[in-house]
Structure 1
């Protein structure tokens, strides 16, 4: 129990004992100021961390925090497995990669909250993509979602929107499930039925669902527009991270980008050409905020900065330690 909660409980006990005046009673100044002082001291002492340090809660509690109905299906993410893969987990909040994603998420969260350089419509809808397959976009999407789930003031929904090659559930060690595409084609009529509650506090998952040859048309449909508007507006504190297909491999990512407030493009160091980066960026010109993340960089790539238009740019690298191999082997 926090200091604030203890002080409030103490104040309630004083009220029940009759020390706090009711509407027809005289004041007891010798008691009430003591309770108020205790509450003020508690507020001053209460730590104001940007992230929650507790690793996880029960799935029921986590689902309630993430704004997911208790009727939603529950899954357990193997956090120890993710640690071995060198990924962000709430159980290792001070790992090197956790620190890197703190840098990456901060401007994205500011935009989602409307505190960026300019107002961003649907700023809480963030698409993670790349120019080409295999650059680490799914690795980045999962790590970003995990990092945001450690925030005090936000929940996060991780959406696998790579309908041709879904990989989020597999990367998390989970079996295939129905998902977004099943809702769009009408096989599932309630989006909450396919959202998965997890044992990670404030993190929920929306799988890609069935393979659909007309995925591009479905993403561009009015049904998708209505769904995204509901997802963006229903929970003001929720940030939604989409793992999308590569921009130059399919047209689905370009269509999805039209709905997004922010797009983060993952660029693989020493592999992706400047031409491919520029060509990919040209396909999402309508998105108000575009950012680049430099992935799989050695020490020399750490700290490189990339900025395009109004968007933010930032780079990070894994460095020459054991975690870099996990990053380069992550799903595309």
Structure 2
């Protein structure tokens, strides 16, 4: 007699569909983030919390069409910079945390800096499968790699494994289908992408061209006008580009953030 796993199926027996895997749940160390001066739900009215309240409001108005017709895929917002070290990941995480405080919105934070992912590190989490794995494996679904967090309205999509063809993967039909699913599946969802720097990789401009809104982080007193102009030139195809002027020091020991549209 064959072993149990080799028994033929009984004729007429209904095959039950495989159960979908339960979403992974991870714990963000919110106390650690608060000590780093970042935005958290219970962090109070800190300068960073107030600044990102100002930053998010026009982005949400455009995503919802409150100032006129809604921007196509306006709920897909990419945060990038001209060069590394300007604070784009810091701004992406804070923006996601701030939007997650809204009463009627859920947020998906995507680490799309696939060559040098840092969102999970900032959140105090270990590496996990994510965006690149979905694009490489047709059998893998978005729900398989999204991480639910202890912030009820915030989920995270890690970058996943590195790949030398990242630019082509981000420009692929699979990526366009994924973005369409992300943008349209949940009407109340805003998606924040942490992108690579524009002047270092080709992935950034490919990614930005598929977004409804772009946020360009510029480091005060460090990023040159030439770098900003070149970054904006690469964003020419994007209709809605916003700037965050980051790391302005009004007095010793303080960080202020300016926002320009």
Is the shorter-chain TM-score for this pair beyond 0.5, marking a shared fold?
A: yes
Partner Cα distance (1:178, 1:187) in 2: 14
SS of 1:97's equivalent in the other structure is helix
Partner Cα distance (1:99, 1:186) in 2: 41
Partner Cα distance (1:152, 1:93) in 2: 17
**Root-mean-square deviation over aligned CA pairs:** 1.7
SS of 2:243's equivalent in the other structure is strand
Shift in Å, 1:201:
2.1
Partner Cα distance (2:165, 2:150) in 1: 34
Question: Equivalent of 2:48, from 97, 101, 113?
Answer: 97
Shift in Å, 1:275:
1.0
Question: Equivalent of 1:241, from 188, 192, 199?
Answer: 192
Tell me the residue number matched to 2:217: 266
Shift in Å, 1:120:
1.1
Verify: 1:124 aligned to 2:75, yes or no: yes
Tell me the residue number matched to 1:254: 205
Partner Cα distance (2:209, 2:47) in 1: 34
Shift in Å, 1:149:
0.4
Verify: 1:223 aligned to 2:183, yes or no: no
Q: Flag the structure with larger Rg.
A: 1
Partner Cα distance (2:178, 2:129) in 1: 16
Partner Cα distance (1:171, 1:245) in 2: 15
Tell me the residue number matched to 1:210: 161
Q: What is the aligned residue count?
A: 238
Tell me the residue number matched to 2:104: 153
Partner Cα distance (1:188, 1:273) in 2: 45
Question: Equivalent of 1:281, from 229, 232, 241?
Answer: 232
SS of 1:240's equivalent in the other structure is strand
SS of 2:25's equivalent in the other structure is coil
Tell me the residue number matched to 1:321: 253
SS of 1:175's equivalent in the other structure is coil
Shift in Å, 1:194:
0.3
SS of 1:296's equivalent in the other structure is strand
SS of 2:37's equivalent in the other structure is coil
Verify: 1:113 aligned to 2:73, yes or no: no
Partner Cα distance (1:72, 1:118) in 2: 34
In the superposition, the TM-score normalised over structure 1's length comes to 0.69
Partner Cα distance (1:292, 1:95) in 2: 21
In the superposition, the TM-score normalised over structure 2's length comes to 0.88
For the 8 Å contact 1:107–1:116, the answer to whether it is kept is no
Partner Cα distance (1:82, 1:93) in 2: 13
Shift in Å, 1:115:
1.6
Shift in Å, 1:287:
1.1
Which whole-Å deviations, capped at 9, do the CAs of 1:274-305 have from their partners, x for residues lacking one? 11101101111111100000110012xxxxxx
Tell me the residue number matched to 1:19: none
For the 8 Å contact 1:195–1:207, the answer to whether it is kept is yes
Q: Which protein is richer in helix relative to its size? A: 1
Verify: 1:80 aligned to 2:31, yes or no: yes
Q: Which protein is richer in strand relative to its size? A: 2
Q: What stretches of structure 1 move > 2 A for 4+ residues in a row?
A: 116-119, 319-322
Question: Equivalent of 2:241, from 285, 290, 294?
Answer: 290
Which whole-Å deviations, capped at 9, do the CAs of 1:57-77 have from their partners, x for residues lacking one? xxxxxxxxxxxx981100000
Question: Equivalent of 2:92, from 113, 134, 141?
Answer: 141
Which whole-Å deviations, capped at 9, do the CAs of 1:110-166 have from their partners, x for residues lacking one? 011112355311000000000000000000000000000000011100000000000
SS of 2:182's equivalent in the other structure is helix
Partner Cα distance (1:114, 1:165) in 2: 34
